[in-house]
Amino acid sequence: MTVEIHDGTRWQPVCSLDDLQPGRGVAVLLPPADTQVALFVDRSGALYAVDNRDPFSGANVLSRGLLGSREGRPTLASPMYKQTFDLTDGRCLDEDTAPDGTPAVLRRWPVRAAATDSRTPRNPQNPQNSRNPHNSRKEERT
């Protein structure tokens, strides 16, 4: 299975589903602008993709955040200042605005696991080898 993120124009293959460990994130680059996206798979197999940039620190670190839940909704806690974001809508559950006055909301990217096509190259910006394989799952989040 190949994990694909929709960049607004088309589905971009970014890695193999086997490259992901449940509960741990990876940073991927979307061409052509090398936009950083934090990609996660949770223990149930659901995929999530959000901007990797933490709106509170400005650092590209959200792929190192912690997955959790609040009131039954999947969340991501930033490793910097620990703000928690709802993965279903991207909003910060702790503060309404970032320090620069903009809304504290992460961009969410549509993500899916698709059948692997041998003609589809893996993202050269993310050349991880397969490790910790788990059951293949199909999931699409928007």
pLDDT tens for each residue of 23-50: 999 999 998 888 999 999 999 999 999 9
pLDDT value of position 31: 84
User: Rounded CA gap, 64 and 58, in Å?
Assistant: 14
- CA 62 to chain CA mean position, Å: 9
pLDDT for 134 beyond 90? no
pLDDT value of position 117: 61
Tens-place pLDDT, residues 7-19: 999 999 999 999 9
User: Rounded CA gap, 120 and 131, in Å?
Assistant: 20
User: Rounded CA gap, 120 and 140, in Å?
Assistant: 19
Please confirm whether the linkage preceding 31 is cis (ω < 30° from 0). Answer: no
Give, rounded to a whole angstrom, the gap between the first and last alpha carbons of the chain: 18
pLDDT value of position 137: 39
**pTM of the predicted protein model:** 0.80
Average confidence (pLDDT) over 122-133: 40
